[in-house]
């Protein structure tokens, strides 16, 4: 009985991702709120701020098209928060020690955790897009553009999940992860999420939005909805998301090594 083969890493990732998905499904608040809240905000903004489209230089005549990118970003932030809190609970409750006593590899833990975020990213992106189309938005880049939009949204969601994973591993507490949430939202509000950069009157706000990477993530999604195929906007959005993934995965791996000091 002692001659057990060590489980292979893909199998470990599969098991841990399955657990992460179960976590999401079994906590309705983790599914309903992150999906419903951004859609409610979309409905409110697109009706209340429609007059903004009359400003000279506004990129579209329908604010819904302009605002459709925002739920994807908010969903990504919620996914980061929820995934991070789940991992922090594992640390606080000692479940990480249980996992550390198995042959599980560190990268498998991170990948499994992110598997849950990926699942949530796909589901929520599909819902946002479907609802957006049902209530009157269109995708200027067509069907292919819709597929690229989904891919970009899931990539962005994954990037923020990597950030959430790093924060959880570093802080080791659910409260600390929650403490980061307002910061994420400040980043969203100080971007071009609600207003095009060229129409922001306040210099400091326009400056911050220009340096805020979230602006380029939003604009990448928005370009597919409003403009059609904009190679530069897409390259910037995918590039920033990829950089975030690389940076926060590396930081997560480092944070896990310092937390899991098993020999």
Q: Nearest approach, Cβ of 8 to other proteins (angstroms)?
A: 9
Q: Is 29 in the site for other proteins (CB under 8 A)?
A: no
Q: Which of these, 191, 117, 121, 128, lies nearest to 161 by C-alpha position?
A: 117
101 binds other proteins (CB under 8 A): yes
11, 44, 246, 250: which one contacts other proteins (CB under 8 A)?
11
Give the footprint of other proteins on residues 35-94 (CB under 8 A): 90, 93-94
Query: Does residue 179 bind other proteins (CB under 8 A)?
Result: no
* Rounded CA separation 65/44 (Å): 13
Q: Which is nearer to other proteins, 93 or 136 (CB)?
A: 93
In terms of Cα–Cα distance, which of 19, 144, 189 is closest to 89?
19
Helices 142-171 and 213-222 cross at an angle (nearest 10°) of 150
9 binds other proteins (CB under 8 A): no
In 3D space, the residue among 234, 207, 208, 205 whose CA is nearest the CA of residue 219 turns out to be 234
Which parts of the chain fold into alpha helices (H)? 9-25, 28-48, 63-67, 69-93, 95-100, 106-134, 142-171, 174-189, 203-211, 213-222, 231-259
Q: Is 198 in the site for other proteins (CB under 8 A)?
A: no
Does 144 sit near other proteins (CB under 8 A)? no
- Provide, rounded to whole angstroms, the least separation between the CB of residue 17 and other proteins: 11
CB 79, CB 161: distance < 8 Å: yes
Q: How far is the CB of 137 from other proteins (least distance, A)?
A: 36
State which of positions 200-239 bind other proteins (CB under 8 A): none
Residue 126 CB, nearest approach to other proteins (Å): 24
- Interacting residues with other proteins (CB under 8 A): 1-2, 4-7, 11-12, 15, 19, 22-23, 26-27, 90, 93-95, 97-104, 172, 258-259, 261-263
């Amino acid at each position: 009985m002692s001659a057990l083969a060590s489980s292979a890493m893909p199998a470990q990732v599969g098991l841990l991702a399955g657990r992460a998905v179960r976590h999401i499904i079994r906590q309705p608040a983790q599914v309903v709120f992150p999906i419903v809240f951004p859609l409610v905000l979309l409905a409110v903004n697109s009706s209340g701020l429609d007059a903004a489209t009359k400003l000279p230089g506004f990129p579209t005549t329908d604010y819904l098209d302009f605002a459709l990118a925002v739920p994807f970003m908010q969903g990504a932030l919620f996914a980061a928060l929820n995934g991070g809190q789940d991992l922090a609970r594992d640390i606080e409750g000692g479940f990480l020690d249980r996992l550390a006593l198995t042959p599980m590899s560190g990268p498998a833990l991170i990948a499994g955790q992110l598997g849950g975020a990926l699942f949530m990213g796909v589901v929520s992106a599909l819902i946002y897009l479907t609802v957006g189309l049902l209530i009157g938005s269109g995708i200027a880049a067509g069907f292919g553009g819709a597929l690229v939009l989904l891919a970009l949204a899931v990539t962005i969601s994954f990037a923020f999940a990597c950030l959430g994973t790093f924060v959880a591993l570093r802080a080791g507490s659910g409260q600390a992860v929650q403490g980061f949430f307002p910061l994420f939202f400040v980043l969203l509000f100080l971007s071009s999420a609600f207003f095009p950069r060229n129409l922001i009157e306040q210099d400091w706000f326009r400056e911050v939005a220009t340096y805020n990477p979230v602006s380029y993530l939003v604009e990448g999604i928005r370009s597919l909805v409003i403009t059609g195929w904009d190679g530069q906007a897409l390259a910037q959005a995918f590039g920033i998301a990829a950089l975030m993934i690389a940076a926060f995965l590396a930081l997560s791996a480092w944070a896990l090594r310092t937390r899991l000091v098993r020999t």
